[in-house]
Amino acid sequence: MNSQTPLDSRIAAVRRFNRFYTRTIGALQEGLLHSSFSLVEARVLYELDQRAEATATELGRDLDLDGGYLSRLLQRLERNGLLARSLSAADRRQSQLSLTAAGRAAFSPLDQRAREEVGTLLTALPEMSQAALVAAMATIETLLAFTTRPKPWLLRQHRPGDIGWVIARHGAIYSEEYGFDSRFEALVAHVAGDFLAAHDPTVERCWIAECDGMNVGSVFLVRKSAGEAKLRLLIVEPSARAAGIGRRLVTECITFARSAGYRTMTLWTNDVLVAARTIYQQAGFRVVASHPHSDFGPPMVGEDWELRLH
């Protein structure tokens, strides 16, 4: 019997992709791109080639390299005449690093070979496949960036195509994380469709959180009555949940609701949505009613929350 969990399968898939890609780009060769440089040495040379000057501290932080390992690597490059050091004018305790003329001459053919090899890899594919490959790489970069170093993101109002994304991601994420069935996606489609068809932008709003051109979160504020607004369809991509996006989306709803003249905000959620419930509670919402149900498959408790705005 196969006892492998979904996480085990995903771990195996990521490791399989890593093995495939490192072999494809030649990262396993003793010298990168048939040069005398290792992969890390080539990356340090690239960073120094792109900057007029940099400190070892900056390189270590940006490349996430151990300080001792980086120090030994820099000393080797300096002994080979590829790297120069000078005292920083701003901080005499720091040395500014830069490539020497020999260092730039050594890096130039390496950089050109890298461009040629990637060009060969891409031109073997049709145009549409090239675009799909680049888009998939951008997706990987965006998703993993939040797990290492949060990237800048912005909030904006919805644009054509965003509502479809909201529906699709609700269906996929809630199915994967909570076991919700297709009835939940149907509910989301109904709510989002009604908003798109007839919303009044003076008293209703949809916010989309975006990072590097990719949607990573959303929330809606809709009119329930002249004095009551309803918060709906809060979602944040799992990879972006450490960036405070959910709290900011809820804060935007509250601020807009007050400016639009609403006296009360309400929302409906379920007890299994622990992270969202924490955000609501911290924003001042309180549970005013609850009822068990199995509308989306698994048994859970639906909750009505309320926030007095004035």
- Distance, in Å, from the CA atom of 71 to the CA atom of 59, rounded to the nearest integer, reads 10
When pLDDT is averaged across residues 16-29 and rounded to a whole number, the result is: 85
Residue 63 has a pLDDT of 86
Query: What's the chain's average pLDDT?
Result: 89
Tokens 């048939």 -> residue: 34
When pLDDT is averaged across residues 69-96 and rounded to a whole number, the result is: 84
Residue 27 has a pLDDT of 78
Q: Does the pLDDT at position 1 exceed 60?
A: no
Residue 143 has a pLDDT of 72
- Distance, in Å, from the CA atom of 174 to the CA atom of 146, rounded to the nearest integer, reads 20
**Whole-model pTM?**
0.59
CATH classification for the domain delimited by 6-124, as one of 3.30.200.20, 3.40.50.2300, 3.40.50.970, 1.10.10.10: 1.10.10.10
Q: Does the pLDDT at position 192 exceed 90?
A: yes
Residue 208 has a pLDDT of 97
The burial class, CB within 10 Å (0-12 / 13-18 / 19+), for 243 is buried
Q: Does the pLDDT at position 240 exceed 90?
A: no
Superfamily of domain 154-308: Gcn5-related N-acetyltransferase (GNAT) (3.40.630.30)
Confidence of residue 246 (pLDDT cuts 50, 70, 90): very high
Percentage above 70 pLDDT, the chain? 95
Domains in the chain: boundaries? 6-124, 154-308
When pLDDT is averaged across residues 28-36 and rounded to a whole number, the result is: 78
What residue type is assigned to position 126 of the chain? P
pLDDT digits (tens, 9 = 90+) for 118-164: 999 999 999 999 988 988 888 787 777 666 666 788 999 999 999 99
Residue 149 has a pLDDT of 60
Residue 230 has a pLDDT of 97
84-98, 233-247, 253-267, 269-283, range with the lowest pLDDT? 84-98
- Distance, in Å, from the CA atom of 276 to the CA atom of 199, rounded to the nearest integer, reads 25
Residue 21 has a pLDDT of 87
107-111, 192-196, 220-224, 237-241, range with the lowest pLDDT? 237-241
129-133, 223-227, 250-254, 269-273, range with the lowest pLDDT? 129-133
90-94, 139-143, 243-247, range with the lowest pLDDT? 90-94
- The four Cα atoms 75, 77, 79, 82 give a dihedral, to 10 degrees, of -140
Residue 28 has a pLDDT of 77
Where would I find the beta strands (DSSP E) of the chain? 54-55, 83-87, 95-99, 154-157, 205-211, 214-223, 228-236, 264-270, 286-293, 300-308
